[in-house]
Amino acid sequence: MIHHYSFQNLLKNLTRRQVLQASLGAGVSFLLPTLEARATEKRGKERPKSLIVLWMAGGPSQFESWDPHPSSAVGETVNKIKTSVPGLEISELLPQMAEQMQNVSLIRSMVSKEGDHERGTYYAQTGYRPDPSVVHPSVTALISKHLANDQVEIPQHISLASGDGFVVPRGGFLGAEHDAFRVFDPGRNVRNMKASVEDTRQSRRLEGLNVVSKSFQQRRPIQSAETLHQSVIDKALMMMSSEQLKAFSLDDESKETVEKYGDSRFGRGCLVARRLVEQGVRAVQVVLPGFDTHVNNLELQSNLFRTLDPAYATLIADLKQRDLFDSTIVLCMGEFGRTPRVNPLQGRDHWPVGYSCVLGGGGLQTGHVIGATDPQAAPEQNQNVIETTPPESPITIPDLYATILKTMGLNPHEEIQSPIGRPFQLSEGTAIEQLLPEYLL
């Protein structure tokens, strides 16, 4: 029995879901509007949320990063180190992230239905498997469209340090205007953002272009609308004259800050990503390529995770220091993982069942570890068993994106239509309740 707690004190120690259940059972449903009003008020006061995706292109190895098994039959791999979450150990290649694990959650049981790079990337970025009859928008494109900020004069869907075309998130049936704006060498320059002639000559050029554009629009209105010609020009000119363009530059960042992130394309990309969300950009991808290690896996993956570690950890610390972490979800993932078995070339092959991803920020619950893998459970004489054993508590890509969308204030099951009227949900998954902000439970 509880003798010394008032009913109000008891409510403070219960989750919102428990309060709802208790209030209904006890006939105190008059409390419900107050609780809902508080949740709505909290959401209303929050800074609009952004998403940063750290994209590990090629398929990062879970064994050399977030799910090491040094004592099991998975070939040569790395040792484990302790983290800021009691009982959680990750790769020795990630010492700075080990200190930040209390601020994120780790999923070790991601499952995908695609084991090819291009198809796997499509599925992992959209939540839908490739379909020849439709091109689905990436989740980042959906977010930039549905949470567009009218005060932002630069693109709100950006890909930094991107390489291969299929790695760059697309607008799909939303239209090419929702494709990510690509910056190949972040922090160094953004091409063609300054006029090559003096202002007077630039004005004359634009006047001449305007005459040609109006003539084309009058004679070919349908073609003019399809090309988005005038829209692209208007946005480009606004961007060229905007103070927010400085977010792409690191000129006002100290050398010490750049070195903390790592003076690499990826490290500078993470720093630019922080600067972009400060301006209100909704969705940013930063690409770290090279994870397709069919040969010499341990050395290549080790080098890549040494690049990831300072950039990722500093990004989290920087967002927290600037009071941006609660409004910015940071997701680190690739299209799939790598096999438990090492091949004859000392590489690991594609592995879409039982790999890892990390996410945090935006109000998501932190310090959780979801799922588990046990590659040692397979007898050494029957390595094929490893390749068919499912992970504990599998999480699908649609589930992951339903969680992110809901946390960002969108309804994952909202229907949108393709240009031919075909209905699609923002996500077909189910949000992971264990990770949702408390007021969404």
In this prediction, residue 24 has a pLDDT band, given cuts at 50, 70 and 90, of: very low
What sign has the CA pseudo-torsion 250, 256, 262, 267? negative
Q: What is the pLDDT of residues 87-107, one digit of tens each?
A: 999 999 999 999 999 999 999
In this prediction, residue 9 has a pLDDT band, given cuts at 50, 70 and 90, of: very low
CA distance 347 to 264: 25
Q: What is the pLDDT of residues 185-230, one digit of tens each?
A: 998 867 655 555 555 765 665 556 666 667 777 777 776 666 665 5
| 355: nearest Cα among 181, 113, 186, 85 | 113
**Is a pLDDT exceeding 60 seen at residue 297?**
yes
Per-residue model confidence (pLDDT) at position 101: 98
**Is a pLDDT exceeding 50 seen at residue 310?**
yes
- What is the phi/psi pair of residue 410, to 5°? -105, 155
**Is a pLDDT exceeding 90 seen at residue 147?**
yes
CA distance 96 to 311: 9
**Is a pLDDT exceeding 90 seen at residue 409?**
yes
**Is a pLDDT exceeding 50 seen at residue 355?**
yes
* Amino acid letter, residue 82: K
Q: Where is average pLDDT lowest: 232-236, 248-252, 380-384?
A: 380-384
pTM, rounded to two decimals: 0.83
Domains of the chain: 44-187+249-372+379-423 (3.40.720.10), 191-246 (no CATH)
**Is a pLDDT exceeding 50 seen at residue 307?**
yes
If you average pLDDT over residues 229-244, what whole number do you get?
61
Per-residue model confidence (pLDDT) at position 170: 96
- Encode 131-140: b = buried (16+ Cβ within 10 Å), e = exposed: eeeebbbbbb
**Is a pLDDT exceeding 50 seen at residue 390?**
yes
- What is the phi/psi pair of residue 79, to 5°? -90, 165
Q: Give the number of other Cβ atoms within 10 Å of residue 22's Cβ.
A: 15
If you average pLDDT over residues 148-174, what whole number do you get?
90
CA distance 57 to 372: 23
CA distance 65 to 155: 33
If you average pLDDT over residues 113-125, what whole number do you get?
97
If you average pLDDT over residues 233-259, what whole number do you get?
79
What sign has the CA pseudo-torsion 165, 168, 169, 170? negative
